[in-house]
Amino acid sequence: MAVCSELEPKEVFAFFEEIAGIPRPSHHEEKISAYLQRFAKERGLEHYADEKHNVIIIKEASAGYENEPPIILQGHMDMVTEKTADCQKDMTKEGLDLYIDGDWLRAKGTTLGADDGVALAYALALLDSPTLRHPRLEFICTVSEETDMGGAHAVDVSMLKGNRMLNLDSDEEGIALAGCAGGGDADITLPVRRAAVRGEHIRLAATGLTGGHSGMEIGKGRASAALLLARVLTGLREDYAFRLVSLEGGAKYNAITREASAEVVLADSVSTSAFREAVKAEEAVLRREYAATDPSLSLTAAIADSEEAALTEDSTKQVLGLMEALPYGVQRMSADIDGLVETSVNLGITKLEADKLTLSYSVRSSIATAFQAVIDKLELVSSCFGATALVHSTYPAWEYVRESAFRDEAAAIYRELFGKELSVQAIHAGLECGILSGKIKNLDAVSIGPDMKDIHTPEERLNIPSTKRVYDFVVKIIEHKSK
């Protein structure tokens, strides 16, 4: 029996479970795109797909709604594919293993993909319904949102007739998003040199960190595993001579690094046991500092069976110095919206190869000039260490507008349905609304979604009762007739 067969709304969770069985990491959306196209073809719905695998599905208005303005439904088909260290699943080829944990739906050892599988499940349930009363529905489903938003940049929306858009890529019930940060990625590359050296090889590992979404969780003060290692090694070099051999951590620009490892080779004069004891002492310091945000933090040092050549003394200094000098975390809080991060920078991927170090950053800001200021700082600091910075995958902010008829309509429906006010907010994470606002004239957009926790981590979970309440809300929005 299907895991979700008893969950409500049945039609939504049935589609969600089908989607969860299809591997869909960013830039590998061929199978999920084909599934969406097959769905539309089997139901005789107008649909479009492009070479990037974006899909648009259109369902004409039901009887009595022909004169109502169309509604655009929007979400993305790719997901962040993070997993625990002991999970053997190949997320490029295998689907997810769902399970129910009380009121939450989760996946064993991996991200759940509710971000943004919920949008797909909602939209397909709506498009499939024989009883829903609705205006013309236009579903835009994009690829690579989690990496470069390339799908939204490329998608052709010329066939659309609507300018009211319901984005379904939010993760907190009762909140309507009306603005988001813009941003982009930066790859910093530092050439390194290696030389043979004799000595004991030690492997350090920072594990058990909480991690999280670099937009939603960057303001919570969670530690970056790669930067913790850089900090620890920088401090240890004051008393222990060693050279760096390897350093790596993270897999996604937009995820706070949960695990990282490094290998060093100690000088002959350094006591192995003393070095390992010093690492344990550093672990105690870090566990105190991050007790609230990263309670499972672990820092270990073990003898490594390795003969890999180490970096030179100068390259070791440059690598650690560059990582320590580059900005990280919250750069500025919003002066207009309490508690909102305005500008941030996240080190998502660290990779030390034979001849170079690559540091991959995600930069976000709701203010274009503040975003550029961080980029300028990354470039300036990099140049001081002999490194270069390549900026790419930029996307615009979705600027908040005070006047929104569609948002006001949604708020009134929410008040009538639940007897309380819909909270209108902006977020630090990126949404595709900003890009689509440049493609659809006079776009009036609002973003909603059910409660999710710890997205972009293996702890990701979707609240089951919330999924039903938000779906009921979406149905009411669609069935509402303008006066």
Provide CB contacts within 8 A for 289, sequence distance 6+: none
Catalytic residue among 78, 148, 217, 294: 78
Query: How many residues are recorded in the chain?
Result: 483
Active site residue 282: no
Q: How far is CA 111 from the centre of its chain?
A: 11
| Residue 140 to residue 165: CA distance in whole angstroms | 10
Pseudo-torsion of CA 442, 448, 452, 458, nearest 10°? -20
Catalytic residue among 116, 145, 217, 283: 145
| Residue 294 to residue 8: CA distance in whole angstroms | 34
> Which one, of 11, 129, 131, lies nearest residue 63 by Cα?
131
Active site residue 78: yes
| Residue 62 to residue 385: CA distance in whole angstroms | 63
Q: Give the tokens for residue 455.
A: 């997205």
Provide CB contacts within 8 A for 336, sequence distance 6+: none
Beta bridge partners of 255: 213
Catalytic residues: 78, 145
